[in-house]
Amino acid sequence: MTTAATRDGADARKLVSGQCDRRTFLKTSAAALAACSLSDWPVGAAPVERLAMDGGPKAVTMPAARHAALRRWPRYGQAEKQRLHELIDSNEFYQELPRLEQEWKAYTGAPYVKAHMNGSSALTSMYFALSLGVPAGSEIMVPSYTFFSACLAMRFFNLVPIFVDIDAQTACFDLEDAKRKLTPRTVAVEAMHSWGLPCEMDLICDWCKQKGLVPLEDAAHAHGASMQGKKMGTWGQMAIYSFQTSKVLPAVEGGMGMYQTREYYERAAAFGHYEDPAKFPADSPYRAYEGTGFGQKYRMHPFAAAVARMQLKDLDARNALVAKNVRALNDRLTQLPGVREPRCRPDQQRVYYHANMLLVDFARLGISRTTLVKALQAEGVPVSYWDYPLQHKLKIYSEPRWWHHPPTIPERMPGAEYVNANHIFVPLIYEEAPELIEQYIRAFEKVWAHRTQLAKL
């Protein structure tokens, strides 16, 4: 006579051999589960099929053209085309810049903003504005895990970086490491909101206030992100955004500076915009530099401003859709052993720049990152990784001739090193695509079910 235990045992043997279907998998009892190797048991309910890299079927079956279209970035449409045509036909271009500035002010709540030709010019202008009020040789705390201009632009104004680590749980500014590295020359702290996740600016600003430091923000990844209902870029005394093609609000090129005081605004605007001093109030100490400013020309292209204005209209809706898709994916993927997301506080609203970064404990998983990426790519998921170049390791910081005094080069950055070594990027999906999300999930579950096999490669 066939018993329940006999049937369960047969089902379990089918599962391990890769012959069972999803219905059989779901019916398998705890008794059958005990007969299987836990290391090879699929987390979730995906059938155990042969890996695509071993000749099995791909988990992602969506047609390639449609798959690519869902991931395409940047995304421009009729609104951008129409606005550019209107601007060309009007033969009046430069008023597009104050229009963008006013709309950005209204969106973020910043008291002063200035459009720049890119994020790097906005950073350079920010450091100039800071430098007028501090001694030569002053130091600014900045993550080593950042874009080079966030550090290198300091040297033009006799400012020097203090390299700070990132928190391995968030990939954002590590305040505890900053506290250990405070020097008598420190005047400011610049925090980058990595991959669209806000830094803990409430804690950073509180500490800056205690120590008499100026909080600054690099929000180049964080268009639309907020904390406690307050937009990123409005926590620090000054901040910057980038509108480069890859960014959350892409205008091909462009940037924005944000300022909490009139003095910082006038300094930064006069540095790269010779036409601005004449517009300052009569009592401005910088009005005298009408016609020259302070020697640079950082004006944003009006066509970029036009594109940015159109992108801003849909920014929140686009961010919400991307976040919804990420949530549907990550709620399942983070159930797999060794997978987690960067920590996001309940009072933070993050956005997603470039990709959905997952942190994977490869030591626990027993698989190399190269093997995991190869297996997932074979299943049709275009995962990748990119180790952020750590600034303190680059040549220019070790050469004293470029600096007022040589930056201190730390021996290690354990947080940044961990994040670089233990992340993967999953593509962002910019439209409603539940079928594709489910296929990605099946691909991950399938690969994880074979992790003991993959560990041998």
pLDDT tens digits, 15-36: 333 344 433 433 333 333 333 3
Mean pLDDT of the chain: 92
What pLDDT, on a 0 to 100 scale, did the predictor assign at position 147? 97
* Partners of 112 in the β-ladder: 259
Supply the pLDDT for residue 212.
98
Interatomic CA distance for residues 216 and 236, integer angstroms: 5
Q: What CA–CA distance (Å, rounded) separates 427 from 430?
A: 10
Checking if the pLDDT of 192 tops 70, the result is: yes
Q: How distant, in Å, are the alpha carbons of 116, 184, 318, 389 from that of 145?
A: 24, 23, 27, 7
The distance of Cα 93 from the centroid of its chain, to the nearest Å, equals 32
pLDDT at 12: 38
Q: Give me the long-range contacts of 417-420 (CB less than 8 A, separation at least 24).
A: 417/390, 418/168, 419/145, 419/166, 419/168, 419/171, 419/359, 419/388, 420/145, 420/387, 420/388, 420/390
**Three-state secondary-structure class, residue 231:** strand
Compute the distance between CA of residue 45 and CA of residue 20 in angstroms, rounded to an integer: 11
User: What is the average per-residue pLDDT within 230-247?
Assistant: 98
Of 442, 421, 410, residue with least CA distance to 362: 421
Amino acid at 4: A
Convert the pLDDT of each residue in 286-327 to its tens digit.
999 999 999 999 999 999 999 999 999 999 999 999 999 999
Q: What is the pLDDT of residue 457?
A: 86
CB 221 within 8 A of CB 172: no
In whole angstroms, give the CA distance from residue 197 to residue 386. 17
Q: Is 163 helix (H, G, I), strand (E, B) or coil?
A: strand
Indicate the residue type of 411.
E
Q: Answer whether 358's CB lies under 8 Å from 339's CB.
A: yes
pLDDT digits (tens, 9 = 90+) for 378-425: 999 999 999 999 999 999 999 999 999 999 999 999 999 999 999 999
Q: Which CATH superfamily is domain 48-72+315-454 in?
A: Aspartate Aminotransferase, domain 1 (3.90.1150.10)
Per-residue pLDDT, 48: 72
Name the nearest CA neighbour of 425 among 363, 361, 355.
355
What is the average per-residue pLDDT within 155-170? 98
* CATH 3.40.640.10 domain locations along the chain: 78-313
As beta bridge partners, residue 188 has: 140, 214
- 47: confidence class by pLDDT, cuts 50, 70, 90: low
Q: Where are the beta strands (DSSP E) in 232-281?
A: 238-242, 255-259
Q: Residue 224 — pLDDT band, cuts 50, 70, 90?
A: very high
Q: How far apart are CA 391 and CA 145, in angstroms?
A: 7
Cβ–Cβ < 8 Å for 414, 168: yes
Yes or no: is domain 78-313 CATH 3.40.640.10?
yes
Give residue 24's pLDDT.
40
Q: Looking at the chain, which residues constitute the CATH 3.90.1150.10 domain(s)?
A: 48-72+315-454
Average pLDDT over residues 79-95: 97
